[in-house]
Structure formats: structure tokens, C-alpha cells
Structure 1
Amino acid sequence: MLLHPDFVVCRPKTNYYHSLKHRTHGVKLSLDFRKAVENGNVIGYGHLEINVSPHYHFNQYQHNGNDFTPENSIKTIIEILNYLGIEQQEYNELKVVNIEFGLNIIPETDIKNLIDGLYFCKKTPFKTGAFPYFKKTDATNYKQIKAYAKGLQFLEFPQYGINPNTFRFEVKSKEAKNIKNYGIWNADDLTKLDIYNILTQTILDEWEDVLLINQTPDFSNLKTDEVQFIRNGNKIDFWDDLKNDSNRNKFNRYKEKYYRLLKGKNNLHNLIKLQIIDKLNSYQSGANSTQGNPINTRKEVLPQTPIQLINLEYAPPNENNRVCLVTELDISMQRKGSKFLCFGGLKYYKEFEPNIYKDLENRFLSEKMKIRDTDSQIYYIAHNIRNTKTNPIHNPKHSRKRFDKRNYNDLQMEIDFN
């Protein structure tokens, strides 16, 4: 690797390294050799760090503003490693210690207003980054969330065909111990399609934790107290105070209320979520995009077809005779390893078995939750199904009674034999 003819010496990231960059691709394809020192002299190298940018490689190192499917990624990573002279049987020798993954969508709202409205990821505030309309947050010591205007980044390069309103949402994991949670240990794992299912689910999960404010809401169908709540919620100080409140759940409760009051076109967070699901759905269904294909921005609802991917927990229907441990309903349409009926399965039953779904709604959805939007209702049904099994295990003496009292009225759990 040190003698590869297409690399030249460049400035190392620290004095402990000897670094090379590609002659034409620069640092987006670079090598960092960790020096091994003995008695003050460099006697060799302890390890090599290979830095690659598959999406840029896919576009001849010009941009990463178009669609880049899991299949594209696998093919590109193999192509890069082969170019570097690394054979397939050696892939498992390359530990993955840093990874960035995300997706591009084109929201219907103005990208500048969208970025300005990004306040928090969980309770960690977004901070402005390296260029305008770029925000990031250190979700943990080893994970970073990025959200920025990808289209504005390439505004001076119209030949690339990147829509100026393109929004990129990205997860960066900076430690191997967290990357292993995605099922990724080495470069060989990056060539397995199943791993990308986990990454796509992670993207959706991380978006759920984002607080996105609608800075120009429509108040026409809201009551006076609701209007006041939305106006208060559009101020970052409002959320700062909630974040520091002694009641640790208050922040999330108010965030749910904020989204609940902003219905339809007013709820930007949910509109972006639907676009994310739509894009990830298209990847999983095998509808591979090519470099010249534009991103679909018009779908605002889930496809009216049998569910292959919702919440990215899927398998072909009836693939296995698997049943929910609580309801004993078939869950073969969910991800392998599922034990309970969850988001994807509930979506399936709502769409194709409405009578079964109605029964589940009556059994596991409390009255106060029936006024929520569909996604929230499904979340709470799944949550209550799981708790039916886990609460007695965690605290068999008390938790079941507390759960029933919190979620059901006094007569709902009684059997009327008359």
C-alpha cells in the first residue's frame, strides 16, 4: 500500500502518522500509516487507516448529492478495495472504526426554513457547522447527527443536477464499539445487504429523536390556547427550559403535543419522516436509482401495496410461521427475530386485515391515545403489546396493576358474562 503508484505524500493528520492521498481524488481516498517508533527512530508502521468515500467514488469524486442505494454502495466498496489491491478473502482483516451514512431527500418546504427549524436531537441542541445551513449535534461521545442543505453546498455546480432544495440527514459513528451495534465489524460486513437494513432503520430511529419547528405555521384551524402553545414552542428558550426541568419526561411530552397540534402540512417533522420512509422503502424494494434519476419528492403517503418495508422491519409475508408472543398473530411480515407485533406488522394489519387491527386497537389502545395520529396510535399499540409480556417479568407484583390503571378505564379489563 505504501508503494501504490497513484498516491502521493501529503500533510499527516498528526506527527504520529505518515499520510498519502490519491493524486486526483485527494483526501477522499487517502491512507494514514501509524508510525512505529523505537529509540526515537521510525522502524515501520503499526497499522494502516484507509479512508474512502464510496458515494463520491460512485460519482467520479464530484459530489454525493444524488441517490446511492445499498447495492450501489456494495459494488463501489468492492471496486475501491480491488483498486487498492485488497482481495476479498482479506476483507475481514479490515476493521471498520468510523462510518457515515445517511440519505438525501427533497422536501417541499424551503430548505433554509427547515434547517433553521432544527433545534434538538433528543435533548442535545443542534449547532451550526462548517458552512451555511449546516447543523450537527454530538448525540453521544461516539455518535454525531448531521442535517444540512446538500443542494446549497453544490449551488455553483448546476452541471451535477442536484436540486437546490436537497436535504441530507446523516449519522456518523466515531467508535468501533458503537459501529458493532449495527452488525458491522469489518469491511466484509459492508458487502452484505442485510447490514444496510439495520443502517436504514437507524436513520429512521434517529429522525424520530429530532425536534423540528415549523417557523411559519398555519393557525387557521387552531384554538387560542393551541396557537399560544405553538408560538411558545417556536422559541428555542421554551425548549431549553423544558430540557432543564426536573421532570425528565416533560420535554418529550411537550414535543409530542407540539407535533400533535401541527397537523397535516403544518407538521414538517412528520412530512419529512414520510419522505424518509418512502426513500428507504424504494431502496428495499429493489427500485435502484441511477446517477441520472431524480429523487421522487411527490409521495406523501405510504404506497398502497402489501408492506415490504415499514419501519424497516420486514420479511416476505408467510415466509416463516412466526407468531407474536402476546397476540399469537402472524408476524412473518416483520424482521427476522421479532418476538412481538410491532410497527411494521400493525401497518400491515391496518391495511389488509382491518378487522384484526380494530380488535387490537380495542384491546391495546387507551381512550386518550385514540385522538392521536395513526403513527402515534400504532406506536402505543405496539408498546402496550410488548409491555403485556415484559411488565410482569420486570415487576410482577406491581407493574401490571399500574399499567392497567394508566392505560385502561375501570371496566375495560372486566369480562361481562351476561
Structure 2
Amino acid sequence: MKKKTKSEFKTTERDEYSLKIYNKSMHYRLKCNILRFEYKAHVGSSLKSIGIHYLSDLLNPDIRAKLGERLISLWDEVVLNDWTIRTDELSSKDQVKLKDWKNANFWIDLHEETRKKNRNKFSKELAEYRKIVQDHSDNVHQVIKEALIEKWCKIVTATQTTQIGQKVQDHSNTLNDLAPIPEPIESEVKKRLCRVTRLDISNQKRGSVYLRESTIKTIYKNDSKLYKVLLDYFGPKWKKINSITDIFETIAKNIRDIYTNREAKARKQLQKYNEAIERYKNSLFPFDDELRFTS
């Protein structure tokens, strides 16, 4: 492995955590660019503040969502040297200032200078730079932020679906056990599973691909443990529910939405990705067909 140089990555250290940004593909001498943004907690308090006390807490979807919010909030604090700024659109005064803004040492020195007094000076300078980025560039910082959000949503959604499948597979009862149907001829048997929960839905109407309310009702009556798993993951969170039937309908709807929303996010991500390629294909750090944002 090639020894790192300071030009290959940027880090910042805090008492409770550290951040690191670098091109992961350089470690493996890949032609593509893989941007890695790492958040490393040094003390437990930085994780306990969002409800993480044990590794098992990461199984909670709400906790994972908070962890994603923490990651995005830390990215918001990053000052990125945006190479897409259109300097010909800037005033002479802003062009001079831009030379300082593009120098990392300028921000480090300014932060040290204003840390104990006149702290508004740093905030004002940063706000001025970000306004220039917003009005006169492709805003690479925002593009990366959106990619981080989409990547995190994809990870959380995939993990949640996998965990549901694993949990329900641990139950010895299948839906056929709970609601027996006449034994078909073996050659005609084709087991059908819910696309999200991976539960057997062979006893449902032909063509159905998700758990239906009738099946959820059967689980409710016959397997309280399995029903609790479905309720915890797909049950109503904030919506006021008036009856148990409404709960069954909400669970079924949320199961369908898990799959359809994932497809919609994938289409949206692909569209933004293609737009990003067009914007940056001639830049110093171009996107290409192998670019991936990893966590």
C-alpha cells in the first residue's frame, strides 16, 4: 500500500470525535474516484447523546436515522473548496477574497484568531463564501450532501428489509401453518414470498406480492411474537388509529411503501447522478461511471 501524503486526505480532531475525508480509490490504485467521509467517535458520550449505548442499539431504525442526521450535520460544518466557482461572474473584490477562501490555512488561522473573541467575524466570512458558492457555482458541497443522504437512506432501508427477513425466518410457524389450505399437487406448488418481509404469501390471492391485511390479521390471531415484529417495523408511528383494522391497513401500506419508495429513490438518485456527470465531466475531480459514495 502506498504511503499517504497530506495531499491525499483531510482530517480534523475533536475531543469527542474525528472526521476524515479522502479518496478511497487511491489506496487500491483504482481509476475511479470513491469519496469516503468518516466519522469516528472517541468517547461514548458523542454516541450516547443520540441513544447509542450498545451495538445492538443500531438495530433500532430510529437510532440509525439519528446517526444519519449526525453524519449529515457534521458534513454541513465542512468547508469545501469548490472548484466549480465561475470567477468571471465575481466582482474584483470577491475575486481577491476567493484566493484566501481557497486556502485551507486561511480558515484555520481565522478560526484560531476569532475563537476567543470576535467569533462573529469567522461566521460572517464563512457565510459570505457560502453565498458565493450558492450563487456562482454548481455547489459541489450540496451535491455531495444529497448523495450522502441518499446513500444513508439506501443503507437504512436495505438493512431494515434484511432484518425483517431474518427475524421472520426465525419463527417456526409459516403462514401456511397458521391458515391451512388444501394441499395442491406438488408439481403445481410455487411458493410465493412477500417482497419485503420474505414471509410466505402462497395462500393469498394470485398476483399479490406483499402481505395483505387478511394475512396480517391471521398473524395477529395466531402468532403474537411475529405480529409484534411487524408492528414495531411497519406499524403506525404518529397517525391516530381508531381500530385494529386500521392498524392492519397501515402495516400493509408501509410494507408496500418500503419497496416502492426504494425504487423511486433509486430513479431519483440515477437522475441526479447523470446530471452530476454532465456538470463535472471536465472538472479536475470528474465523476465517472464507477463513482460511488461510501460510508
Q: TM-score range by the shorter chain?
A: 0.3 to 0.5
TM-score, length of structure 2 as denominator length: 0.47
The answer to which structure has the higher strand fraction is 1
The answer to which structure has the higher helix fraction is 2
